[in-house]
Amino acid sequence: MTRRSLLGHVLLVFVAASGWAAAATEQIPKAVRADLEYLKTFVARDPDKDARDAINKGNLTFLGVAGYSVMVPAGDEADIGGCLKGPDKVKLIRGTSDVVYGDEHMALIQQATRYAARYNALIAKRRGFATTGECLPSNIGVQRSPADGRR
């Protein structure tokens, strides 16, 4: 195969892959594409600064990440939701979901989770919540074992 022929094949593969990526993007609903753009902007922010600003304004609402259930990460804890009480407020991060539209969306959800963990750690500290293994996950007991212990 000549160099020119090889270059033609590489170009053909690139064009085909670009077309596939564009087609895959077009399959994402418009509202979800807007959520992805929001997430890109959101995860680029500074969670420490945002938490300090919220605290200064008296807003002690935790951030939640939507998935199979809502998780409220804080510091090294994946979910402190079990320590929250009825009146405690959790604001879901827009664009997080258990329905994932590709690798980029998954990466953004992971970044949003890290952002929420840092942000919530500062909110939890201000509110006097311990975040070192004392909280059960918020979805604990969602599926209770039958009385006889069999599933």
Which residue type is seen at 64? G
Q: How far is CA 95 from CA 21, 39, 57, in A?
A: 20, 6, 25
Residue 23 has φ and ψ, to the nearest 5°, of -65, -40
- The answer to whether residues 47 and 115 touch, using CB atoms and an 8 Å cutoff, is yes
The pair phi, psi for residue 96, each rounded to 5°, is: -85, 145
- Domains of the chain, residue spans: 31-127
What is the predicted pLDDT for the residue at 95?
94
- Judge whether 118 and 43 are in contact, CB under 8 Å: no
pLDDT of residue 133: 65
Q: What string of pLDDT tens digits covers the 151 residues of the chain?
A: 544 443 343 333 343 443 334 444 557 888 889 999 999 999 999 999 999 999 999 999 999 999 888 999 999 888 888 888 877 889 999 999 999 999 999 999 999 999 999 999 999 999 887 766 667 555 544 444 445 444 4
**pLDDT recorded at residue 82:** 81
Residue 85, by phi and psi: left (phi above 0), alpha (psi -120 to 50) or beta?
A: beta
